[in-house]
A and B are shown apart, each in its own frame.
Chain A
Amino acid sequence: MSTLTEAPPPLAPAEPEQKPARKRGRFTPYWLLLPGILWLVVFFALPMIYQASTSVQQGSLEQGYKVTWHFATYWHALTEYWPQFLRSVFYAAAATLLCLVLGYPLAYLIAFRAGRWKNLIMILVIAPFFTSFLIRTLAWKTILADNGPVVHTLNSLHVLDLTDWLGWTAGDRVLATPLAVVCGLTYNFLPFMILPLYTSLERIDGRLHEAAGDLYAKPWTTFRKVTFPLSMPGVVSGTLLTFIPAAGDYVNAELLGSTDTRMIGNVIQTQFLRILDYPTAAALSFILMAAILAMVTLYIRRSGTEDLV
């Protein structure tokens, strides 16, 4: 996925006399585009329209559905499930922040301090991808088990008392609590934060650090004033790549959480696959999509990195 974040290399300023002439084959681009674009239109764009239409239908499985412009479904979906929406945003934001805090040192390490270990560390960051993420998520059940060493240590350090008080954990256990879900989300999407961060850090000219040092900046100041601002493209795409999938995820909440940690993804999944209430499910999914697109657009505007794509 690192490729999403690799900004296209700057094109050489094209002199007018070097522009490639493409007179022959005027239709070639359209033939090249046709199959792929058709695929995306039919199986990505069209479904969005179907979903929008489903969300305003009424009826039942037995009698079939009809478009009745029943917008009350949206109202119903929002009033009924706003806690799950809020929880999704909150969990995803927490996981994104944790990913940034945890991922930045590692990306920095790979980019500037790893030396000959660089490739090995890079492999170790990517390799877990190849083990099914479900299996790895299940491993957290073992790690965070009630009578395991992690919970034991946290308990004896009275950390769990604090998190209990904050409402992140409950009753001296970590599993089936918000903390476990956020921890799982963080773990699952951490590489999506590290790779873009690394790509943008690696582009920074090492001499800039020396220049900053030369101009009387202490290491921490150098980081704040030079390194971090220059890595902003990586921070922006990393947070997006973490936040978007985290907000729609339901696997971590299902495997590591409890009924009190259900996220909006869980609701959509249940409505669609178990309760078979298609209009509500479609409305929920539509709201999620709109909310995420709105947030992403706002975020990209604010951070001034519109050339992200």
Chain B
Amino acid sequence: MPFVNWLKRRLVVIAGLLTLAYLLLPNVIVTVFSFNKPKGRFNYEWQQFSTDAWKDPCGVADMCGSLSISLQIAVWATVGATLLGTMISFALVRYRFRARGAVNSLIFLPMAMPEVVMAASLLTLFLNMGAQLGFYTILIAHIMFCLSFVVTAVKARVMSMDPRLEEAARDLYAGPLQTFLRVTLPIAAPGIAAGALLSFALSFDDFIITNFNAGSTVTFPMFVWGSAQRGTPVQINVIGTAMFLAAVLLVLASMVITNRRNKQKA
């Protein structure tokens, strides 16, 4: 039974590719339906091909505004979480201090907590303080939950760094500041970049925590949520497709560049 044998040997590959298809199917649908011209308010059924939405991506009231708010929050949350998280990582890896265990659990817990719990408890805090819900409460929340992820990303990188490199720098006439800028930071950079990228993605896409603490401010995910109730404009799919393509292209481009650079040098 050559066919059965062939199948047996490739069972893992076939199963894996099926899972990959399952993962990518929604993205295909999102892309295809960005060219749809739906009859009613909802864009769930295929009607006819049209590029209308692509020609006028901001044609829906408030959508591009929410997109801009989301981008702003994501940028500031990334800056804040990366800065604070990197500082914590260096303290954790490089120094001995009291309460290390407590600090470690404080960093781990937000990642082991359902979002809805963090969202609800943060809202009780804001309500108790009488804080005005909006842009800044969202930003505070986003920095909070991104922080732990930055710490884990940067910590892994700094831990794997040879402490002799910094000693070598100091031995070669670099003072503390120079050592940090010329050696420590460049070597830790990939970890910091990974943490920052993760923060951006998490913040930009966050819905649950934002939904609790946004007040009347509408971020892009909240706009999508609202439109699921009121009617989904095709433009949502346009944005979704564009984001997917941009991400894939960005990663591919960076891979091509590193490949080429390595080849040139070799």
- Proximity string of chain B (115-130) to chain A, C-beta cutoff 8 Å, 1 when within and 0 when not: 1111011111101100
Q: Are B155 and A109 in contact (CB-based, < 8 A)?
A: no
Residues of A within 8 A of B20 (CB): 106, 121, 124-125
Q: Are B16 and A109 in contact (CB-based, < 8 A)?
A: yes
Question: Is B153 at the interface (CB under 8 A from chain A)?
Answer: yes
Q: How far is the CA of A121 from the CA of B16 in the complex (A)?
A: 10
Say which residue of A106, A140, A269, A272 sits within 8 Å of B19 (CB atoms).
Answer: A106
B200 to chain A: closest CB distance in Å?
Answer: 10
Say which residue of A32, A43, A113, A128 sits within 8 Å of B244 (CB atoms).
Answer: A128
B206 to chain A: closest CB distance in Å?
Answer: 9
Q: Flag the segment in A71-79, A141-149, A160-168, A205-213 that touches B.
A: A141-149
- Proximity string of chain B (158-180) to chain A, C-beta cutoff 8 Å, 1 when within and 0 when not: 01100100010000000000000
* Nearest residue, chain A, Cβ from B237: A135
B75 to chain A: closest CB distance in Å?
Answer: 15
Residues of B within 8 A of A292 (CB): 112-114, 117
Q: How far is the CA of A106 from the CA of B205 in the complex (A)?
A: 25
Q: How far is the CA of A36 from the CA of B107 in the complex (A)?
A: 10
Q: Are A39 and B248 in contact (CB-based, < 8 A)?
A: no
Q: How far is the CA of A251 from the CA of B211 in the complex (A)?
A: 11
Say which residue of B27, B110, B208, B237 sits within 8 Å of A40 (CB atoms).
Answer: B110
Residues of A within 8 A of B207 (CB): 133-134, 251
- Proximity string of chain B (81-102) to chain A, C-beta cutoff 8 Å, 1 when within and 0 when not: 0001101101100111100000
Interface of B is mostly: helix
A29 touching B121 in the complex, CB below 8 Å, given contacts A50-B128, A135-B224:
no
Say which residue of A50, A134, A194 sits within 8 Å of B221 (CB atoms).
Answer: A134
Q: Are B123 and A272 in contact (CB-based, < 8 A)?
A: yes
The total number of A-B Cβ pairs within 8 Å is 275
Question: Is B3 at the interface (CB under 8 A from chain A)?
Answer: no
Q: Are B224 and A138 in contact (CB-based, < 8 A)?
A: yes
Give residues of chain B (226-266) contacting chain A, Cβ–Cβ below 8 Å: 228, 232, 236-237, 239-241, 243-244, 246-248, 251-252, 255
Q: Are B12 and A255 in contact (CB-based, < 8 A)?
A: no
Q: Are B112 and A240 in contact (CB-based, < 8 A)?
A: yes
Residues of A within 8 A of B240 (CB): 131-132, 135-136
A263 to chain B: closest CB distance in Å?
Answer: 10
Question: Is A48 at the interface (CB under 8 A from chain B)?
Answer: yes
- Name the residue among A11, A113, A131 with the largest chain B CB count within 10 angstroms: A131
Residues of B within 8 A of A45 (CB): 106
Q: Are A293 and B84 in contact (CB-based, < 8 A)?
A: no
Q: How far is the CA of A48 from the CA of B128 in the complex (A)?
A: 13
A44 to chain B: closest CB distance in Å?
Answer: 6
Say which residue of B23, B113, B115 sits within 8 Å of A187 (CB atoms).
Answer: B23
Q: How far is the CA of A240 from the CA of B91 in the complex (A)?
A: 27
Q: Are B87 and A9 in contact (CB-based, < 8 A)?
A: no
A244 touching B29 in the complex, CB below 8 Å, given contacts A47-B125, A50-B121, A123-B252:
no
Residues of A within 8 A of B116 (CB): 248-250, 265, 268-269, 285, 288
B115 to chain A: closest CB distance in Å?
Answer: 6
Q: Are A248 and B117 in contact (CB-based, < 8 A)?
A: yes
Residues of B within 8 A of A22 (CB): 94-96
A239 to chain B: closest CB distance in Å?
Answer: 12
Q: How far is the CA of A293 from the CA of B117 in the complex (A)?
A: 12
Say which residue of A4, A29, A39, A248 sits within 8 Å of B144 (CB atoms).
Answer: A39
Q: Are A250 and B208 in contact (CB-based, < 8 A)?
A: yes
Q: How far is the CA of A258 from the CA of B129 in the complex (A)?
A: 36
- Name the residue among B13, B124, B211 with the largest chain A CB count within 10 angstroms: B124
B93 to chain A: closest CB distance in Å?
Answer: 9
Question: Is A281 at the interface (CB under 8 A from chain B)?
Answer: yes
Residues of B within 8 A of A245 (CB): 114-115
Q: How far is the CA of A28 from the CA of B110 in the complex (A)?
A: 25
Residues of A within 8 A of B184 (CB): none
Q: Are A127 and B141 in contact (CB-based, < 8 A)?
A: no
Q: How far is the CA of A255 from the CA of B255 in the complex (A)?
A: 37
Q: Are A46 and B125 in contact (CB-based, < 8 A)?
A: yes
Q: Are B26 and A140 in contact (CB-based, < 8 A)?
A: yes
Residues of A within 8 A of B125 (CB): 43, 46-47, 50
- Proximity string of chain A (233-252) to chain B, C-beta cutoff 8 Å, 1 when within and 0 when not: 00000001000110111110
Residues of A within 8 A of B44 (CB): 138, 141-142, 145
A127 touching B248 in the complex, CB below 8 Å, given contacts A135-B30, A136-B240:
yes
5 CB < 8 A contacts A-B = A40-B106, A50-B125, A109-B17, A143-B29, A244-B113
**4 additional A-B residue pairs with CB within 8 Å, beyond A109-B17, A125-B20, A129-B201:** A33-B87, A47-B122, A134-B207, A245-B114
Q: Which 6 pairs show the lowest CB-CB distances between chains A and B?
A: A248-B114, A109-B16, A29-B95, A130-B247, A105-B15, A36-B84
